[in-house]
Amino acid sequence: DSGLCCTHPYQASSIFRAFPPPLFWTRSKLFRELLEAKMYSLLSGLYRYMTEKVQYQVLVLGLDYAGKTTLKEQCQRIFGDKNKLGTPSIIQERMTPTVGLNIGKLEIGNTKLLLWDLGGQEGLRVIWQNYYAESHAIMYVVDATDTHRLREAHSELKSLLSEKSLEGAPLLLLANKQDMKGAKDEKYIAQFMDSDTFARERKIKVLGISAKQGTKVKDAINWLLKEIPICHRTSQVKLESL
């Protein structure tokens, strides 16, 4: 038997000559320390994986009065810490047009979404380009009741998606104000905005929503959470771990 278990004095002394006690125990202690360090590293990495949040930036764009800020506010209400059920609430107040930038912050699981709500007035659209390079996705909001401005909305979207710095960014095209009489449905908006053409170069989703009532707003955000991490563009845009 070649095991280390022994009872004969000579056999025991031979083992201790081969492994002097100080060296034997030093090695044993070192092994335990290495094992503890490895376990600590493993548990520490697991803890970071479970608690660390990855941050994505999402552009919220569209013409003025499309309902972008109302959408941002509704997203924050649905995904807020106090709203455990994730249910929407009706936003009664009328939002004034954004001048500059409004930022909405959503924390969902291990993901943090920053919603960059930019002013849609004609004179303010020039600042949109300052945020393209660091954006992971686009939410483009259309007032589905304002048929007189659909051509303008389409023109701005077409110009937006031609930008090299937004190449491959997933597009969420939102036909807003579905709670109002006369609103065009998502199929009509998709055709008018020529979404099939844009879909050749990026992932695109068209949804009819009501930012005011919260209808399908949760579906919109869930689509972003699904598409952004698997998008090729995401690996090219700097990620921030929080």
- Cross-strand partners of 54: 111, 241
Same domain, 231 and 131: yes
The answer on whether 62 is annotated among ligand-binding residues is yes
The whole-number pLDDT of residue 203 equals: 96
Query: Average of pLDDT values for 220-231?
Result: 96
Amino acid letter at 149? R
Same domain, 177 and 92: yes
The answer on whether 176 is annotated among ligand-binding residues is yes
Same domain, 113 and 41: no
Same domain, 88 and 18: no
Look up the pTM and report it. 0.76
The answer on whether 183 is annotated among ligand-binding residues is no
Mean pLDDT (the chain) is 84
Same domain, 122 and 62: yes
Same domain, 111 and 164: yes
Clarify whether 121 is annotated catalytic: yes
The answer on whether 63 is annotated among ligand-binding residues is yes
The answer on whether 177 is annotated among ligand-binding residues is yes
Of 11, 121, 129, 191, the catalytic one is: 121
Give 235 or 97, the one with higher predicted confidence: 235
Instruction: Compute and round to an integer the Cα radius of gyration of the chain.
Output: 28
The whole-number pLDDT of residue 85 equals: 62
Evaluate whether residue 2 is within a structural domain: no
Query: Average of pLDDT values for 24-30?
Result: 58
The whole-number pLDDT of residue 66 equals: 96
Question: DSSP for the chain?
Answer: ---S----HHHHHHHHHHS-HHHHHHHHHHHHHHHHHHHHHHHHHHHHHHH--EEEEEEEE-STTSSHHHHHHHHHHHTSTT-TT-------SPPPPP-SEEEEEEEETTEEEEEEEE--SGGGGGGGGGGSTT-SEEEEEEETT-GGGHHHHHHHHHHHHT-GGGTT--EEEEEE-TTSTT---HHHHHHHTTHHHHTTTS-EEEEE-BTTTTBTHHHHHHHHHHHTTT-GGGGTSPPEE-
The whole-number pLDDT of residue 23 equals: 52
| Residues written for the chain | 242
Same domain, 91 and 17: no
Maximum separation of any 2 CA atoms in the chain, in Å: 102
Tally of domains within the chain: 2
Same domain, 103 and 195: yes
Evaluate whether residue 3 is within a structural domain: no
Evaluate whether residue 21 is within a structural domain: yes
Give 87 or 160, the one with higher predicted confidence: 160
Evaluate whether residue 4 is within a structural domain: no
Any idea what the CATH number is for the domain that residue 83 is in? 3.40.50.300
Domain boundary, last residue among 50, 65, 82: 50
Same domain, 166 and 217: yes
**Residue 13 binned pLDDT confidence (cut-offs 50, 70, 90):** low
In sequence order, what are the residues at sequence separation of 6 or more whose Cβ sits closer than 8 angstroms to the Cβ of residue 44?
none
Answer for the pair 60, 117: CB distance below 8 angstroms, yes or no.
Answer: yes
Same domain, 218 and 154: yes
Structure tokens at 94: 């009328």
54-104 pLDDT, tens digit each: 999 999 999 999 999 999 999 999 998 666 566 777 776 556 777 778 999
The answer on whether 98 is annotated among ligand-binding residues is yes
Same domain, 185 and 67: yes
Same domain, 145 and 206: yes
What is the extent of the structural domain holding 187?
52-241
Answer for the pair 124, 118: CB distance below 8 angstroms, yes or no.
Answer: yes
The answer on whether 66 is annotated among ligand-binding residues is yes
